[in-house]
């Protein structure tokens, strides 16, 4: 069940390469994915293990207007 305004415990995050929002106790909001061994921070492709304190995750929101991201 979601807690903290929709944030879920990091242990329940998808491990299939899905991009998600991540919450780090020190840094705050990150965007990334699980590469099969590590969480990868998408803004600079930094591997996160050991140097981050990830506690929660949540799915990405729908794009503005709920439409396809490729439409202008």
What's the pTM value of the predicted model, to 2 decimals? 0.73
Residue 5, pLDDT > 60, answer: yes
The set of residues, in sequence order, having a beta carbon less than 8 Å from that of 24 and lying 6+ positions away, is: 30, 52, 53, 54, 55
3-class DSSP assignment, residue 64 = helix
CA distance 35 to 17: 6
pLDDT of residue 48: 56
More confident residue, 63 or 46: 63
Cβ 52 vs Cβ 70: under 8 Å: no
Span 35-54, mean pLDDT? 72
Question: Domain segments of the chain: what residues?
Answer: 8-61
């Amino acid at each position: 069940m979601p807690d903290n305004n929709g944030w879920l415990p990091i242990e329940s995050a998808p491990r299939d390469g899905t991009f998600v929002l991540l919450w780090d106790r020190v840094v705050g909001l990150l965007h990334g994915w699980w590469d099969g061994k590590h969480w990868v921070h998408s803004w600079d492709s930094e591997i996160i293990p050991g140097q981050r304190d990830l506690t929660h995750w949540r799915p990405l929101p729908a794009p503005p207007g709920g439409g396809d991201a490729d439409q202008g």
